C-alpha cells in the first residue's frame, strides 16, 4: 500500500484522533446544529480513516498539503462525485483552522488546498442498475447476524429512499411489520413521517429482528446493533461501502440508494407528488429535485426516441 508523503516525519503535536474529539466538544459548546455537526465530524473522520489506512500522518504537526490533497484525489479516483468530495473540504478546513486557533499547529495544511471542480449540477445523479442491486443484495445472503442486519438496512434504503441520518436514528418501536411502515421521528412538520415498505423488506426486517432478539444488547432502543451496542452514524456508511466493494461495484455511499429509489420511481411513471411526499422534500426545492432525478429517464427516452425515429436513415 502506498504511503503518504508525511508518514516518515517524526511525531509532532497532538494526535489527530484526540484533536478531532476535542473539536467535536468545541462545536457542541458553540451549539452547532445537529446535522451540521454530524457532517463536520464525519468528514474529518473519513479523512483520518484514509490517512491511517495509508500509513499517513497521525499527529497534527505532520500533516502536509499533499496529504490533504491525496485524500480528495482518492475520493475522486474511487468514483465519488466531485460535489461529494467538495463537501468534505470545508469541514476539514475548519478543523485545521481550529487547530491553529488552539495553537496545536502553526499553519493549516488546508490553507492552499483548492476545491474540486464541480461539473454540471443538473446532471443525472448516480444510480444503481437492477443487476448491481441484485449483486449488492447477494453479498448479504448468509445467515449471520451481520448479514441479516445489513440486508435489512440495504433493502429498507432501496425501498423507501430513507436518508442516511433517518435510517441511523430508527428505533425498534418505529418499525411496524404488520402495517409495513417505518416511522421517522425527526422529519419536519407537515412532511410524511410514516414510510411504507414492501414484502421483501418486511421479510428482511423480520429476520433481522428475530436475530436481534438474541443479541447481548437487545434491550437497546436503537434498531441497528453492532458488537458494542447501537451502531454509530459512520457504521451505516461503512456497511454500504463494504458491501459495495464485495459486490464489485467500487465505492458507493448511502445517498446512492436515495438516488436509485427516486430515479426508479420516475422511470416507472410514479406520481411526482407522491415522490415529493415520500422523500420529504420541501415545496421550494421539490421541482428542482424532480427535474434532476428525472434527467436520467429523460435521457434514456431521448435515446430510444432517436432509435425509433432514425432521422438520419430517412435520406
Query: pLDDT for 103-130, tens place per residue?
Result: 999 999 999 999 888 765 555 677 899 9
Mean pLDDT, the chain, integer? 87
pLDDT digits (tens, 9 = 90+) for 133-160: 999 999 999 999 999 999 999 999 999 9
The residue range of the domain holding 268 is: 130-299
Across 48-70, average pLDDT: 93
- Do 35 and 96 lie in a common domain? yes
- Rounded Cα distance between 102 and 144, Å, is 46
Is residue 111, in this structure, part of any structural domain at all? Answer: no
Band (pLDDT 50/70/90 cuts) for residue 40 is very high
- Do 92 and 201 lie in a common domain? no
Query: What does the angle CA 64 – CA 67 – CA 68 come to, to the nearest 5 degrees?
Result: 95
Pick from 43-47, 227-231, 259-263: least confident: 259-263
Is residue 62, in this structure, part of any structural domain at all? Answer: yes
Band (pLDDT 50/70/90 cuts) for residue 70 is very high
Q: What does the pLDDT read at residue 220?
A: 97
Q: What does the pLDDT read at residue 6?
A: 46
Total domains, the chain: 2
Q: What does the pLDDT read at residue 121?
A: 52
pLDDT digits (tens, 9 = 90+) for 173-210: 999 999 999 998 765 554 558 899 999 999 999 999 99
Band (pLDDT 50/70/90 cuts) for residue 299 is confident
- Do 73 and 167 lie in a common domain? no
For the chain, give the secondary structure using H, E and C: CCCCCCCCCCCCCCEHHHHHHHHHHHHHHCCCCHHHHHHHHHHHHHHHHHHHHCCCCCEHHHCCHHHHHHHHHHHHHCCCCHHHHHHHHHHHHHHHHHHHHCCCCCCCCCCCCCCCCCCCCCCCCCCCCHHHHHHHHHCCCCCCHHHHHHHHHHHHHHHHCCCHHHHHCCEHHHEECCCCEEECCCCCCCCCCEEECCHHHHHHHHHHHHHHCCCCCCCCCECCEECCEECCHHHHHHHHHHHHHHCCCCCCCCHHHHHHHHHHHHHCCCCHHHHHHHHCCCHHHHHHHHHHHCHHHHHHHHHHHHHHHCHHHHC
Q: What does the pLDDT read at residue 124?
A: 61
Q: Are 87 and 36 in contact (CB under 8 A)?
A: no
284 vs 55 pLDDT, higher one: 55
CATH no. for residue 63? 1.10.150.130
130 vs 274 pLDDT, higher one: 130
192 vs 291 pLDDT, higher one: 291
Q: What does the pLDDT read at residue 305?
A: 80
Q: What does the pLDDT read at residue 1?
A: 43
Is residue 282, in this structure, part of any structural domain at all? Answer: yes
- Do 96 and 137 lie in a common domain? no
Domain final residue, candidates 83, 101, 119: 101
- Do 151 and 293 lie in a common domain? yes
- Do 140 and 246 lie in a common domain? yes
Band (pLDDT 50/70/90 cuts) for residue 302 is confident
CATH no. for residue 289? 1.10.443.10
Amino acid at each position: 500500500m502506498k504511503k503518504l508523503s508525511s508518514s516518515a516525519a517524526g511525531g509532532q503535536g497532538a494526535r489527530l484522533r484526540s484533536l478531532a474529539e476535542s473539536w467535536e466538544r468545541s462545536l457542541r459548546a458553540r451549539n452547532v446544529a445537529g446535522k451540521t455537526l454530524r457532517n463536520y465530524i464525519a468528514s474529518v473522520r473519513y479523512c483520518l480513516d484514509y490517512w491511517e489506512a495509508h500509513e499517513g500522518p497521525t499527529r497534527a504537526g505532520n500533516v502536509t498539503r499533499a496529504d490533504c490533497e491525496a485524500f480528495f484525489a482518492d475520493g475522486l479516483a474511487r468514483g465519488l462525485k466531485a460535489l461529494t468530495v467538495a463537501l468534505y473540504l470545508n469541514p476539514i478546513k475548519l478543523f485545521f483552522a481550529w487547530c491553529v486557533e488552539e495553537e496545536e499547529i502553526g499553519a493549516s495544511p488546508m490553507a492552499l488546498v483548492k476545491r474540486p471542480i464541480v461539473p454540471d449540477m443538473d446532471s443525472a445523479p448516480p444510480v444503481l442498475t437492477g443487476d448491481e442491486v441484485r449483486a449488492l443484495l447477494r453479498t448479504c445472503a448468509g445467515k449471520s447476524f451481520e448479514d441479516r442486519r445489513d440486508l435489512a438496512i440495504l433493502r429498507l434504503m432501496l425501498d423507501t429512499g430513507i436518508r442516511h441520518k433517518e435510517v441511523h436514528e430508527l428505533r425498534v418501536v418505529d418499525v411496524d411489520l404488520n402495517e409495513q411502515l417505518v416511522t421517522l421521528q425527526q422529519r419536519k412538520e407537515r412532511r410524511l413521517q410514516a414510510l411504507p415498505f414492501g414484502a421483501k423488506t418486511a421479510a428482511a426486517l423480520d429476520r433481522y429482528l428475530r436475530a436481534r432478539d438474541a443479541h447481548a444488547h437487545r434491550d437497546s432502543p436503537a434498531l441497528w446493533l453492532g458488537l458494542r451496542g447501537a451502531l454509530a452514524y459512520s457504521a451505516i456508511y461503512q456497511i454500504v461501502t463494504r458491501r459495495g466493494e464485495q459486490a464489485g461495484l467500487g465505492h458507493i455511499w448511502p445517498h446512492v440508494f436515495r438516488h436509485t429509489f427516486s430515479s426508479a420511481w420516475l422511470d416507472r411513471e410514479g406520481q411526482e407528488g407522491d415522490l415529493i411526499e415520500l422523500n420529504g422534500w420541501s415545496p421550494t426545492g421539490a421541482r428542482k429535485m424532480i427535474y434532476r432525478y428525472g434527467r436520467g429517464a429523460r435521457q434514456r427516452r431521448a435515446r430510444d426516441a432517436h432509435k425509433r425515429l432514425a432521422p438520419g436513415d430517412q435520406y
